[in-house]
Amino acid sequence: MASEMLSNRYIIVRKVGEGGMATVYLAIDTILKREVAIKILRSDLATDEVSLRRFQREAMAITSTSHPNIVEVFDVGRDGEKNYIVMEYVYGRTLKNLVRQRGVIPVDEAVKS
- Domain positions in the chain are 5-110
Contact present, 52 and 42 (Cβ < 8 Å): no
- Going by C-alpha positions, the residue among 79, 76, 97, 89 that lies closest to residue 1 is 79
Q: Is residue 85 helix, strand or coil?
A: strand
84-98 pLDDT, tens digit each:
999 999 988 877 888
- Adjacent-strand bridge partners of 28: 11, 35
Contact present, 52 and 45 (Cβ < 8 Å): yes
The architecture (CATH level 2) of 5-110 comes to 2-Layer Sandwich (3.30)
22-71 pLDDT, tens digit each:
999 999 999 999 999 999 999 899 888 999 999 989 888 888 888 887 88
CA 27 to chain centre: 11
What is the pTM assigned to this prediction?
A: 0.84
